Amino acid sequence: MKTVIVTPRSLSSGGHPLLDRVREAGYEVVFPSPGAQPTADQLSASIVGAVGYLAGVERIDAVLLARARSLRVISRNGTGVDNVDLEKAAELGIIVRRADGANARGVAELAFAHILAAARGLAAADAELKAGRWTREKGFELEGKTLGLIGCGKIGKIVAGFALTFGMRVAAYDPFADLAFCPSPSFSWVSLDAALAAADVISFHCPPCADRRPLLGERTFPLLKKGVVVVNTAREGLVDRDLMTAALDSGRVRAYAIDAFDREPPEDLGLVRNRRVSATPHLGGFTTESVDRATEVAVDNLLRSLEGTEGGR
């Protein structure tokens, strides 16, 4: 029987009813590492002979793809495909599909939850009280503040709507800006530098740079206002870890929230343990609704491609 490997943890830990559609279409569903992000060795062993791959955020590089001699389609259960070597996939005739926007609401809601929590210092206050200390740090209100939105696609637009509802101004940067989107006089499209410099709160909703350099790095950190809040529910590599640590220690950055890591779970918890960091284990799209939407789109994409309606080898 032809096999389809499934790696997203939201699906591999307990399966999902929508995967029955793959089985009913005549494919064996294989979980290389149930409930965990697969290692390179686990993927290498599983991908040989597989015709389909319902993929998570694990790295799918040229070496792995070279072993996938029968693979016809990689279907992501999310929007990002920066973890896939697209050039090698194209060379081999492997279709790469994504569930565009399926988890946008879940990610946007988590990002704004982090914004609210950081503005009031909820994580630190909770830790202090649980430790038996009555410690209060004055927070700030969002009304009248500026949100620097780095990436304003489906997720960013929802976050912008939340911010405007709270009375914030939104300065949005996106290299592929949808200029028709202007929901309020308090919303404006600006350059990256202008968004970072104006922001009281920064939220990232974009893929990493092609060269993997941080967007918030040596050149751009000096642009930030003192006391800014930074929220990163997109990719860990968008922010320089060492510079962020220094900025938190100096007070230039009031708080940093992160939800996505290069390796999950992360091996280096140095930054995560900083008292001004709020870290979550990739919860953005991990809601019942987002998982269902993303799985439905990913399975549809997978089966359409395997059945030949989308081309491929």
Active-site residues, by number, are 235, 264, 282
Distance, in Å, from the CA atom of 274 to the CA atom of 265, rounded to the nearest integer, reads 17
Distance, in Å, from the CA atom of 16 to the CA atom of 74, rounded to the nearest integer, reads 18
Biggest alpha carbon–alpha carbon distance for the chain: 64
H or E element that contains 30: strand 28-30
Distance, in Å, from the CA atom of 33 to the CA atom of 188, rounded to the nearest integer, reads 44
Q: Which of 71, 67, 63, 69 is nearest to 5 (CA)?
A: 71
Tokens coding 72: 């016809």
Q: Are 223 and 196 in contact (CB under 8 A)?
A: yes
Q: Are 277 and 266 in contact (CB under 8 A)?
A: no
Q: Count Cβ neighbours within 10 Å for each residue of 92-127 and write b for 16 or more, e otherwise.
A: bebbbbbbbbbbbbbbbbbbbbbbebbbbbbbbbee
Q: Is residue 131 packed enough to be buried (19+ CB in 10 Å), middle (13-18) or exposed (0-12)?
A: exposed
Distance, in Å, from the CA atom of 53 to the CA atom of 269, rounded to the nearest integer, reads 31
Continuous H helices in 228-287: 241-250
H or E element that contains 149: strand 146-150
Q: Mention every residue, 6+ apart, whose C-beta is less than 8 A from residue 188.
A: 169, 170, 171, 172
